[in-house]
């Protein structure tokens, strides 16, 4: 199983793959199998996660089920790799959670909603920004494309008049 809980820590080393790869979403798991595969998979992940924590009071089976249900319904669009990444980062202390000796669904879901999701969304923003910059650079470097400055210089070299030069140069800033 590629997303086995014993491999969760490994996911923290592959941020780009976890976030931008093509892992199945929780919805994909639910639809591809018996309609509860997402819940079953989350139960395994959450159960293993809490066993790794050094806390006295673990979640009951009812609490585990409630936590899995909440995550599956509210975050159904997350990929299995993103859930593994979240749990690895949560266990590794990347998020501030006061366990106070016990694991609870509200602490896990709050960390997911209030700490992981903003971080994840920012990573997507940075990726989109990077892709847009690369797209713009590719467009500028295409054969036949020249900068406004070069176009003005070429026109002047041919003795042609350049109308509204200041305006044209302002467009490029």
Same domain? For 138 and 148 the reply is no
Model confidence pLDDT, tens digit, residues 109-127: 999 999 999 999 999 999 9
Same domain? For 108 and 98 the reply is yes
Residues 9, 10, 16, 22, Cα dihedral to 10°: -100
Same domain? For 128 and 161 the reply is no
Cα–Cα dist 118/114, whole Å: 7
Model pTM?
0.75
Same domain? For 91 and 162 the reply is no
Model confidence pLDDT, tens digit, residues 5-57: 666 667 677 888 889 999 999 999 999 888 899 999 999 999 999 988 878 89
Same domain? For 136 and 166 the reply is no
Range of the domain at 21: 5-142
Same domain? For 68 and 111 the reply is yes
Percent of all residues in the chain with a pLDDT value above 90, rounded to a whole number: 51
3-class SS at 86? helix
The number of folded domains in the chain is 2
């Amino acid at each position: 199983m590629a997303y086995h809980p014993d491999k969760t820590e490994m996911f923290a080393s592959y941020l780009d793959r976890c976030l931008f790869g093509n892992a199945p979403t929780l919805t994909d798991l639910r639809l591809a199998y018996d309609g509860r595969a997402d819940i079953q998979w989350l139960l395994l992940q959450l159960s293993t996660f809490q066993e790794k924590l050094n806390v006295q009071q673990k979640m009951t089976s009812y609490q585990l089920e409630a936590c899995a249900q909440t995550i599956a319904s509210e975050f159904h669009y997350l990929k299995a790799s993103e859930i593994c990444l979240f749990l690895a980062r949560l266990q590794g202390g990347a998020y501030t959670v006061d366990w106070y000796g016990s694991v609870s669904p509200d602490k896990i879901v709050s960390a997911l909603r209030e700490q992981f999701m903003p971080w994840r969304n920012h990573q997507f923003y940075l990726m989109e920004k990077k892709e847009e910059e690369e797209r713009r650079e590719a467009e500028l470097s295409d054969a036949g494309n020249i900068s406004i400055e070069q176009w003005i210089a070429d026109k002047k070299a041919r003795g042609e008049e350049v109308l509204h030069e200041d305006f044209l140069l302002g467009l490029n800033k």
